[in-house]
Amino acid sequence: SAVISQKPSRDICQRGTSLTIQCQVDSQVTMMFWYRQQPGQSLTLIATANQGSEATYESGFVIDKFPISRPNLTFSTLTVSNMSPEDSSIYLCSVSKNRGSNTGELFFGEGSRLTVL
Amino acid sequence: AQSVAQPEDQVNVAEGNPLTVKCTYSVSGNPYLFWYVQYPNRGLQFLLKYITGDNLVKGSYGFEAEFNKSQTSFHLKKPSALVSDSALYFCAVRDIRRGSTLGRLYFGRGTQLTVWP
């Protein structure tokens, strides 16, 4: 398994501001992902955080709105830029320890609950 | 397209009774299926997965799931429910199509399980 710590756990933000969420893993992992869980809805993949290169974004998500960093194999950040109330969600960091395999499960952090006023 | 459906938003069951949380899937190729649980204000916790082999998969906390290829289902079950099982349960399928994001999961909308004393 993996122990994943996210900061902040929750925050209330003003419209137009930006917030950076940190994800720290207790061991080196091959793959890190950022998911969004909107109120009453399922989880949606935002992007894959690639170590040492630009993140790979899913359809509907762009780097200008959700810049991601991954400087090493245990840490990543997600920034939610120029926030609007529609960005109010839980943002979840997720990791996989199985390089090149689709059979391993993902492990999730406890999430960062953002409320945008 | 890869997708899962959880037809029930809520499931209510008395403590000690068996519980079933339903999931059906639609995939191209062989399905890799997962169940996760989310307790209030917590991240997702892995329960169990089906990759290949026995159709009955056993997981954490006494849960099990039955893979049924003909019915394209992967229902989560527990013989005797506990009040502490009350949580949000997500079914997910791994995207294994060529060229897709490695490790990506498609999640159902979730089923809120309530077990009353």
Q: What is the pLDDT of residues B68-96, one digit of tens each?
A: 999 999 999 999 999 999 999 999 998 77
CA B115 to chain centre: 17
Q: Is B110 on the interface with A (CB under 8 A)?
A: yes
Contact assignment for B103 to A42 by CB distance below 8 Å? no
- Please report the number of interchain residue pairs, chain A to chain B, with beta-carbon separation below 8 angstroms: 61
Cβ pair A42:B107 closer than 8 A = yes
Q: How far is CA B24 from the centre of its chain?
A: 9
Q: Which amino acid makes up residue A101?
A: S
Q: With contact defined as beta carbons under 8 Å apart, do A73 and A51 qualify?
A: yes
pLDDT by residue, tens only, chain A of 117 residues: 788 999 999 999 999 999 999 999 999 888 899 999 988 788 999 999 988 888 999 999 999 999 999 999 999 999 999 999 999 999 999 998 766 566 678 899 999 999 999
**Who among B32, B46, B95 is closest to A103 (CB)?**
B32
**Can you name the residues that pair with B5 across neighbouring β-strands?**
B24
A34 touches chain B (CB under 8 A): no
**Contact flag A105-B34 (C-beta cutoff 8 Å):** yes
**CA B94/CA B17 separation, integer angstroms:** 31
